[in-house]
Amino acid sequence: MTETEGVIKYQLQDIDITEINAWRSIMHRLAVIGQSRDKYAGYGYGNISQRLSGNSGQFLISGTQTGRPESLTRKDYCIIEHADLEANEITSRGPCKPSSEALTHTALYQRDPAIENAIHGHCPEIWRQTAALALPHSAENVPYGTPEMAEAVQSLLQMHGFRQSGLFTMLGHEDGVMAFADTMAAAGREMIDCLAQALVIAQRCKANYNSRFII
């Protein structure tokens, strides 16, 4: 890392990517991050990020269209050096480009200094149970990867009094879910815990439906 006029310049090769990469692989196994011919017109989906030390607001994030491999390498990540939510501008460095979804990660990091990690995944099981699980969510008319979404995310955090961890869905982004926390493991567990709760509800709904036929 080098420092110029007080702004730390992180070098990708100096950053330990092992933990973020381990959790990214777990999310890939759950198909929360991935790429499949029969989903979303074949485009890769989901991304994972980690705040870099210091309070500069910089963070590491998996690049756009990196959904397919089971495990990523350093060349699949980039550093968000600067982001301006109002101007809808992102400055990044690294061998690949961030998706426009990096704006939503920025919204979290700028809102609360305690948030250190975030996972944006696509999970139809959780997304469909937004109401049943009373999950915080952004409205259907807010598209993902826009300044409006960044604004909506910041108001969600404020409205629901999120501290350093939580999960919300994005109704304007098919299957879109965002989990965040003060550690990578806690963000991953937010996603997995919520998926388990969603699967419980789905089974109960199915059981109730079946029981009508038994009676």
Find the shortest distance in angstroms from Cβ 170 to Zn ion.
8
Find the shortest distance in angstroms from Cβ 104 to Zn ion.
9
Neighbours of 142 (CB within 10 A): 18
Identify which of residues 84 and 174 has a Cβ nearer to Zn ion in the complex: 174
One-letter amino acid at 169 equals: T
CB 94 within 8 A of CB 58: no
Identify which of residues 103 and 181 has a Cβ nearer to Zn ion in the complex: 103
Find the shortest distance in angstroms from Cβ 122 to Zn ion.
6
Identify which of residues 98 and 176 has a Cβ nearer to Zn ion in the complex: 176
Neighbours of 75 (CB within 10 A): 12
Find the shortest distance in angstroms from Cβ 166 to Zn ion.
18
Using CA atoms, how far apart are residues 110 and 115, in angstroms rounded to an integer? 9
Q: Where are the beta strands (DSSP E) in 94-154?
A: 117-122, 137-138
Find the shortest distance in angstroms from Cβ 161 to Zn ion.
25
β-pairing, 166-170 vs 2-4, is unpaired
β-pairing, 117-122 vs 137-138, is unpaired
**Total residues at interface with Zn ion (CB under 5 A):** 1
The window from 7-15, 50-58, 156-164, 174-182 that contacts Zn ion (CB under 5 A) reads 174-182
Q: Taking CB under 5 A as the rule, which mask of x and - marks residues 128-167 in contact with Zn ion?
A: ----------------------------------------
Using CA atoms, how far apart are residues 99 and 117, in angstroms rounded to an integer? 17
Binding site for Zn ion (CB under 5 A): 176
